[in-house]
Amino acid sequence: MDVCRKYAPVVEKFSIDECFLDMSGTQRLYPNPSAIAMRMKNEIRDTLGFTVNIGIGPNKIFAKMASDFEKPDQIHTLFSVRFLKSFGLCRFGRFFTVGRTAQRLEKRRNIHHWRPGSRKYCLCPDADRQKAWTAVA
């Protein structure tokens, strides 16, 4: 977490080995999110001796999903346009924050999938309210 705090004004611990970095307001300091993520990833590897995945997205949900794309030692981005093109019709359980209880409730209603862009089942906040979040896994 100490390495992450060097780069972001707000670091939110998510679990013993994961955190979210709020990179809002750092665009002038770090104009290229992928470049700073690479620097962070390499510093963690060189300083602490282990690899991390970093996901970059407009909010925590997208950032976390991006960090889970491919492991180990990778950086991935996920933004709304790519999300809508990439996922098509998806199982609810594939999404970060959709747990077993939500899956059971939807299954009872005979709903097993979610189509990105569907207003009824949209998991993402309005674009106007989104912050720039980076997930480090």
Q: For the segment 64-95, what is each residue's pLDDT rounded down to a tens digit? A: 888 888 888 999 888 765 565 555 556 556 66
Q: SS3 for 72?
A: coil
Looking at residue 86, its amino acid is S
13-68 pLDDT tens trace = 988 889 999 998 888 999 999 999 999 999 999 999 999 999 998 888 888 888 88
Residue positions annotated with a catalytic role: 18
Instruction: Indicate yes or no: pTM above 0.85.
Output: no
From residue 76, alpha-carbon distances to 58, 72, 132 in Å are 13, 11, 14
Radius of gyration, alpha carbons of the chain = 16
